[in-house]
Amino acid sequence: MSERIIPLLDQRHQGLAMKVPTNPMTGDGVLRDQRHRPLHDLRISVTDRCNFRCNYCMPKEVFDSHYTYLPHSDLLSFEEITRVARVFVGLGVRKLRLTGGEPLLRKNLEVLIEQLSALKTPQGKPLDLTLTTNGSLLKRKAQDLRRAGLQRVTVSLDGIDDAVFRAMNDVDFPVADVLDGIEAARAAGLGLDAHGRFSGLKINMVVKRTTNLDQILPMARHFRGSGMTLRFIEYMDVGTTNGWRMDDVLPSAEVIRLLQTEFALVPLEPSAPGETAQRWGYADTQGRHDPALGEVGVISSVTQAFCHDCNRARLSTEGKLYLCLFAGQGHDLRGLLRQDASDEQLAAAIGQVWQQRDDRYSELRGQQTPGQPAPRRVEMSYIGG
């Protein structure tokens, strides 16, 4: 039986107006939301288009030739994105991630990367700047991205078997081309750490029980010892078009159990506060983590919600600020930008929105009343991962 397609609810044109508060931020100078979570990461979507049709994200049946993407005039310009990012840095953001759609489809992305990599924290330190890509254009672009100042990259790859991968991207894209892209990123020095390991080169695999469960062990075998980190992501109920069912979610605990049938693993501490992945290291014959063998991670967005320290804000392609991946509406930052608001006014307005944030969708997921319609949510391809 084919999966049921839920009609697309288009949330893109409804934004909450943002206002400049008359009494800006108070407190100890650290911006915190209603649950005392600071603002640390900003994910910036640079396009809502993609050349893949992963059925958990942009199913072909919805994102077909009739689908209307945002017109170019609606998108934030590179100058607007950089200005907004600078304001966010002033409010505590230390990590910027470019995403999409497929970010490498945005023309001249290197120019934006050059601008963002020049930003500094108030202490004069560089920011952590990274990008998530499906890897299809990486072979062509890795050198230019590195030259422009990109430090790290995350490549999404849902299988190492060509037939499985082609079916998952649903545009018959060969796995060999993504692997070439990963090699090009490595050769360009993306993700290289001070110890000569490619710890900033991450590979993300979304696991759908019915589709690519059999790829978990082959993927681990392929990347073990490469210096890259492989992370398994639970399939999430983002958007309203992917026909998500709990039965399709493979809990991370099962992923770890499966990996342990072949590899000795030791748990590792989180590398940063608010880190979404639980880390496991490959062990040596004495049972100690061997950094040369590398690590794996699991992101349990469904079975072990991590809303309690979620410190991420998201900026959509046309400048709406979203406080949660599952939010129904965004705050219209572009409106304010284009009304000639000053940086101070932008900061005060963003600060106020963050201070009022109370989102924790994943923690509440299980409390939805059966039979009630699912809340309205934006699509992952529009807001980015």
Give which of ligand SAM, ligand SF4, none residue 139 binds (C-beta under 5 to 8 Å, depending on kind): none
Do 212 and 159 meet the contact criterion of CB atoms below 8 Å apart? yes
Site string for ligand SAM, 122-141 (x = CB under 6 A): ----------xxx-------
Residues 377 and 385: their CA atoms lie apart, in Å, by 14
Specify the DSSP class assigned to residue 175: H
Site string for ligand SAM, 206-225 (x = CB under 6 A): x-------------------
Residues 347 and 83: their CA atoms lie apart, in Å, by 11
User: Is residue 232 part of the contact set for ligand SF4 (CB under 6 A)?
Assistant: no
Handedness of CA 84, 89, 93, 99 (dihedral sign): positive
User: Is residue 317 part of the contact set for ligand SAM (CB under 6 A)?
Assistant: no
Task: Tokens for 277, please give them.
Answer: 């992945």
User: Is residue 102 part of the contact set for ligand SF4 (CB under 6 A)?
Assistant: yes
Beta strands (DSSP E) in the chain are: 15-17, 41-45, 95-99, 128-133, 153-156, 201-207, 229-234, 265-268, 278-282, 295-299, 312-315, 320-322, 330-332
Smallest distance from ligand SF4 to CB 125, Å: 25
Q: What are phi and psi of 248, to 5 degrees?
A: -85, -10
Neighbours of 315 (CB within 10 A): 26
User: Is residue 385 part of the contact set for ligand SAM (CB under 6 A)?
Assistant: yes
Residues 89 and 41: their CA atoms lie apart, in Å, by 9
- Count of residues that bind ligand SAM according to CB under 6 A: 21
Residues in the chain: 385
User: Is residue 169 part of the contact set for ligand SAM (CB under 6 A)?
Assistant: no
User: Is residue 15 part of the contact set for ligand SAM (CB under 6 A)?
Assistant: no
Residues 207 and 214: their CA atoms lie apart, in Å, by 10
- Count of residues that bind ligand SF4 according to CB under 6 A: 23
Smallest distance from ligand SF4 to CB 252, Å: 14
Site string for ligand SF4, 3-42 (x = CB under 6 A): ----------------------------------------
| CA–CA–CA angle 187, 193, 195 (5° rounding) | 105
Smallest distance from ligand SAM to CB 126, Å: 23
Among 56, 232, 280, 354, binds ligand SAM (CB under 6 A): 56
Among 204, 212, 241, 300, binds ligand SAM (CB under 6 A): 204
Neighbours of 332 (CB within 10 A): 18
Judged by CB under 6 A, the chain residues 306 through 345 that form the site for ligand SF4 are 306-307, 310, 324-326
Smallest distance from ligand SAM to CB 234, Å: 7
| CA–CA–CA angle 69, 73, 74 (5° rounding) | 60
Judged by CB under 6 A, the chain residues 109 through 128 that form the site for ligand SF4 are none
Give which of ligand SF4, ligand SAM, none residue 278 binds (C-beta under 5 to 8 Å, depending on kind): none
Among 359, 377, 378, 383, binds ligand SF4 (CB under 6 A): 359
Residues 62 and 71: their CA atoms lie apart, in Å, by 18
Smallest distance from ligand SF4 to CB 72, Å: 18
User: Is residue 302 part of the contact set for ligand SAM (CB under 6 A)?
Assistant: no
Residue type at 59 in one-letter notation: P
Cα–Cα nearest to 316, from 4, 8, 11, 7: 11
- 267-272 long-range CB contacts below 8 Å, 24 or more apart? 268/295
Judged by CB under 6 A, the stretch of 18-26, 78-86, 100-108, 267-275 that binds ligand SF4 is 100-108
User: Is residue 361 part of the contact set for ligand SF4 (CB under 6 A)?
Assistant: yes
Specify the DSSP class assigned to residue 307: G
Contacts with ligand SAM by CB under 6 A lie at 50, 56-57, 99-100, 102, 132-134, 156, 204, 206, 233, 235-236, 238, 242, 380-381, 384-385
Contacts with ligand SF4 by CB under 6 A lie at 50, 52-54, 57-58, 100-102, 134, 156, 305-307, 310, 324-326, 359-362, 381
